[in-house]
Amino acid sequence: MIKMSFGMIASVALLVLGSSGGAQAQQSNMTFFITSTGSGKGADFGGLAGADKHCQSLATAAGAGKHKWRAYLSTSAAAGSPAVNARDRIGKGPWQNAKGVIIAKNLSELHGKNNLTKETALTEKGDRVNGSGDTPNMHDILTGSQPDGTAFAGEKDTTCGNWTKSGEGTAIVGHHDRLGLRDDDPSRSWNSSHPSRGCSLDALKSSGGAGLLYCFAVN
């Protein structure tokens, strides 16, 4: 049986607290994450405002509520309202994950050669998100965006009714692990890989998703 002095116990306690404090400090400085949960209604977040609120709530629970958070989502022009580009909603960067790793320094890098991979695209809790080869696969992240972060033109639904549908419709998704069934750019795209099979949670799951979002701190 190992006996520990008061000094040894105190040292261990300080070490644990220091480690915990460091992790909490990193998360408070977090400016990017993938949501650990979806809306519970597939691609229906109640529009952009609801998606932003989802990001803000998760960030606040993780200790990063001092930032203003936005969901990386585009919307289509509808009912007299212009289209919204995901890239125009998320600030200028730089952005770092819950572990303090920079994923992109600015918008150009984010939409070019960024550092977004399965190992770096973490949740607000600092956890990895299942990707291709994992069970279940959850690498389809909702974006509704083209590779440059802009909205699609035309009448085709690419945003599940601007993030209000949980049944029929489609949304463009990206692969956070940069893997796909083909060895081409769309399959490896983090923000514009392919359309979903529908807007319900079951439809999103059928192609490897869980209705998750990318969240970025604007400030």
What DSSP line would sit under 104-127, residue for residue? ESSHHHHTSS---STTT--BTTSP
Q: At residue 141, does pLDDT exceed 60? A: yes
Share of the chain above pLDDT 90, in %: 82
- pLDDT mean across residues, the chain: 90
What pLDDT is recorded for position 184? 65
Q: Which of 33, 166, 161 is nearest to 100 (CA)?
A: 33
Band of residue 14 on the pLDDT scale cut at 50, 70, 90: very low
Weakest mean pLDDT among 74-83, 137-146, 181-190: 181-190
Q: At residue 9, does pLDDT exceed 50? A: no
Q: At residue 180, does pLDDT exceed 60? A: yes
The string of pLDDT tens digits covering residues 187-209 is 789 999 999 999 999 999 999 99
What structural domains and CATH numbers belong to the chain? 31-217 (3.10.100.10)
What pLDDT is recorded for position 53? 98
What pLDDT is recorded for position 19? 45
The string of pLDDT tens digits covering residues 21-32 is 555 556 779 999
Give the span between the Cα atoms of 18 and 35, in whole angstroms.
27
Handedness of CA 128, 147, 75, 95 (dihedral sign): positive
- The beta-strand segments (E) located in the chain are 32-34, 69-71, 95-96, 102-104, 140-142, 172-175, 194-195, 209-217
**Can you say whether residue 61 is alpha, beta or left, with left for phi > 0 and alpha for psi between -120 and 50 degrees?**
alpha
Paired strand residues for 212: 141
Give the span between the Cα atoms of 212 and 67, in whole angstroms.
20
Write down the pTM of the prediction: 0.88
